[in-house]
Structure 1
Amino acid sequence: MSSDRARALYERLKSEAEAAGYFLNPDVEFVLGLMEGLLTNEERYGYQACPCRLAEGL
């Protein structure tokens, strides 16, 4: 189950992407998992590093 923070980030990024002519993956549960990873990395490293890559922790 995704958190409210992940859902809010999803809605914000979806809006920004669509305004620029892009679209997020239509698999919402998959994207919410990525949002959780972004938020986790933001807490760990201070920035939203993609959860699919190693972060520097700078």
Structure 2
Amino acid sequence: MPNLRGPWLAELREDVLNATLLAILLSKGVIVEAPTVAAAERGIRSMRAAHIAVQALQG
């Protein structure tokens, strides 16, 4: 398992938290402003990119 540390790790954790909270709100039918949804979607794309990078490191 590679040692994944760096200043971007806090950002990635925040993206995970925000995407999770947004999913909970949306599943409960809460109306969420479009800029908030867009920000969470950017976070989801960031997580996917990180996932692909980790997979490439693992070979």
Give the TM-score band, short-chain normalised: 0.3 to 0.5
- Larger Rg belongs to: 2
Q: TM-score, normalised by structure 1?
A: 0.37
* Greater share of helix: 2
Greater RCO, CA 8 A, separation 6+: 2
Q: TM-score, normalised by structure 2?
A: 0.37
